[in-house]
C-alpha cells in the first residue's frame, strides 16, 4: 500500500554486548498493528514471544520507549527469562522503526587517520567535520586522532581552575584546551592514548536515549578490543571499562542540524604521576584509591593486549571497515582551513578557555 500509515516498518537494534533485536510492524489509525518480534536472543518460555507481540499490538504509535518497555514487562509470563536483550531494547527497536532510523550500513562511511595536528586544531576539526556531515557535504566519518605534543582537554562545562593546575601544566609544557562536548578532562601525551571521533547523522541514533546511543556508537570498538583479548565492556553512562578498571571515556555533542559528534579517548600508556600533577581532579580520584605514590603508568590497553599502540589502532580500523564498509578518506584543504579559522576565533581564545573560570 502507498498510504504511509499502512507501510510495513522495520527496525533493528544490536544490544551492546548482547543480541540483535528485530521488529516489524505497521501503523493504522495511529496505532501499532501487525507487530512481530524476532532476533538471535534467547527467551523462555516459548509463549513469551506471543505475549510480547500482543502487548505491543494496539498501542498508540507515539508511545514512548519507557511506556513500551513497561507494557512488554507487564505482559511477560511469570518466571520469563530474557537473555541477550531486555524490554527496553525491544522498545528501542520499535521507536527506531517508527522513526525510520538508519543503520550503520545505510551510509557510505569514510575513515580518516591523518597526521598529528595541534590540540586546538583537533577540537576545531570536531566542530567543522560534524557540521559538514550535518550539511551533507561530507559522508559520515570516523577520524582517528594522532598526538605529537601533550595537552589537557577539558569538557565544555568544566571549571578551568577546578580541573587544571595551570602552573604545573605550564611547567610540563602541557597545552590546555576546551572542547565543545561535555564530560570530564582528558590528559594526552604522544603515544599515550587512542582517540577517535565519529561524525554521524542523527538518524543513526534515532529512537535511542542518550545512554543507549553511547553504548550503540561504541559497540564496534568493544568488538575490536575483545578480538585482541581485552575484556572491554560499556559502563554507563559514558565509560569503556574492564575488570582491571576504566579504559576510557566518551563524550557527545548534538548540533542544531541533527549531526552527532561522538568522541572517545582510551588510555594506552599514560604517565600517571604527571597526570595527577596537572589534573586536580586526577589527584582526588587517585587519592581515593590510595595510589598516588604508585601512579607510575596508566596503561590498560598496553598491559592487557601486550601490543603496540599502532597495532591496536589497526585492529580498530579493520573492525570498523568490516562492520560498516568504510573506505579510506582524507581531510579536505577547505576543512583544515575552516578548522584553523576556528582556532583563531574560538578555540585559542581566552574567552572560550575561560568560559567557565
pLDDT in tens, 246-271: 899 999 999 978 899 999 999 999 88
d(CA 116, CA 110): 18
pLDDT tens-digit series, residues 301-347: 999 999 999 999 999 999 999 999 999 999 999 999 999 999 999 99
Which comes out higher in pLDDT, residue 257 or 69? 69
> Is there a single domain that holds both residue 94 and residue 108?
no
Q: What percent of the chain has pLDDT over 70?
A: 94
Same domain, 249 and 279: yes
15 & 59 share domain: yes
Domain identity same for 71 and 149: no
**Per-residue model confidence as pLDDT tens digits over 118-127:** 999 999 999 9
Assess whether 179 and 126 both reside in one domain.
yes
pLDDT value at 4 more than 70: no
Distance CA 10, CA 266 (A): 35
**Residue 244 shares a structural domain with residue 294:** yes
Query: CA 121 to CA 127: how far, in whole Å?
Result: 10
| Strand blocks (E) in 207-255 | 233-235, 239-242, 245-254
- Are 80 and 19 members of one domain? yes
Sheet arrangement for strand 175-178: 175-178, 151-154, 186-188
Domain range holding 319?
104-353
**Contact (CB, 8 A) for 232 and 305:** no
The count of structural domains within the chain is: 2
Distances (CA, A) of 338 to 128, 156, 188, 332: 7, 20, 24, 10
pLDDT for 210 equals 85
Place of cell 595551570: 166
| CATH value at residue 145 | 3.30.930.10
Residues 93 and 108 in one domain: no
C-alpha cell read off for 303: 598491559
Do 127 and 12 share a structural domain? no
Last residue of a domain, one of 98, 113, 134: 98
Q: Which of 82, 98, 114 is the last residue of a domain?
A: 98
At 327, which helix (H) or strand (E)?
Answer: strand 327-328
Residues 113, 78: one domain?
A: no
Question: Do 173 and 266 fall into the same domain?
Answer: yes
248 within 8 A of 265, measured Cβ to Cβ: yes
Q: Are residues 135 and 167 in the same domain?
A: yes
pLDDT-derived band of residue 288, with 50, 70 and 90 as boundaries?
Answer: very low
Tell me which residue has cell 580520584. Answer: 285
Amino acid at each position: 500500500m502507498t498510504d504511509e500509515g499502512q507501510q510495513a516498518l522495520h527496525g533493528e537494534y544490536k544490544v551492546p554486548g548482547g543480541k540483535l533485536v528485530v521488529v516489524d510492524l505497521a501503523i493504522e489509525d495511529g496505532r501499532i498493528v501487525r507487530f512481530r518480534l524476532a532476533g538471535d536472543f534467547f527467551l523462555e518460555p516459548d509463549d513469551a514471544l506471543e505475549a510480547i507481540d500482543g502487548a505491543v499490538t494496539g498501542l498508540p504509535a507515539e508511545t514512548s520507549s519507557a511506556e513500551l518497555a513497561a507494557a512488554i514487562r507487564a505482559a511477560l509470563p511469570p518466571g520469563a527469562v530474557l537473555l541477550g536483550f531486555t524490554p527496553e531494547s525491544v522498545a528501542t527497536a520499535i521507536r527506531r522503526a517508527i522513526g525510520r532510523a538508519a543503520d550503520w550500513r545505510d551510509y557510505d562511511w569514510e575513515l580518516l587517520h591523518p597526521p598529528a595536528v595541534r590540540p586546538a586544531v583537533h577540537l576545531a576539526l570536531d566542530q567543522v567535520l560534524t557540521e559538514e556531515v550535518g550539511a551533507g557535504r561530507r559522508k559520515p566519518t570516523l577520524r582517528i586522532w594522532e598526538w605529537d605534543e601533550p595537552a589537557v582537554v577539558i569538557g565544555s562545562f568544566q571549571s578551568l581552575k577546578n580541573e587544571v593546575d595551570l602552573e604545573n601544566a605550564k611547567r610540563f609544557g602541557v597545552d590546555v584546551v576546551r572542547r565543545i562536548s561535555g564530560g570530564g578532562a582528558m590528559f594526552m601525551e604522544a603515544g599515550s592514548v587512542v582517540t577517535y571521533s565519529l561524525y554521524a547523522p542523527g538518524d543513526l541514533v534515532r529512537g535511542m536515549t542518550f545512554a543507549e546511543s553511547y553504548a550503540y556508537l561504541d559497540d564496534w570498538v568493544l568488538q575490536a578490543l575483545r578480538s585482541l583479548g581485552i575484556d572491554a565492556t560499556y559502563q554507563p553512562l559514558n565509560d569503556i571499562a574492564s575488570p582491571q578498571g576504566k579504559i576510557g571515556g566518551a563524550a557527545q555533542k548534538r548540533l542544531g542540524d541533527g549531526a552527532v559528534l561522538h568522541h572517545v579517548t582510551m588510555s594506552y600508556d599514560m604517565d600517571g604521576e604527571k597526570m595527577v600533577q596537572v589534573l586536580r581532579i586526577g589527584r582526588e580520584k587517585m587519592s581515593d584509591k590510595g595510589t598516588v605514590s604508585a601512579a607510575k603508568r596508566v596503561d590498560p590497553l598496553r598491559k592487557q593486549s601486550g601490543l603496540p599502540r599502532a597495532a591496536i589502532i589497526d585492529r580498530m580500523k579493520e573492525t570498523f571497515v568490516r562492520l560498516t564498509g568504510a573506505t579510506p578518506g582524507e581531510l579536505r584543504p577547505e576543512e583544515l582551513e575552516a578548522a584553523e579559522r576556528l582556532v583563531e576565533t574560538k578555540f585559542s581564545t581566552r574567552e572560550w578557555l575561560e568560559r567557565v573560570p
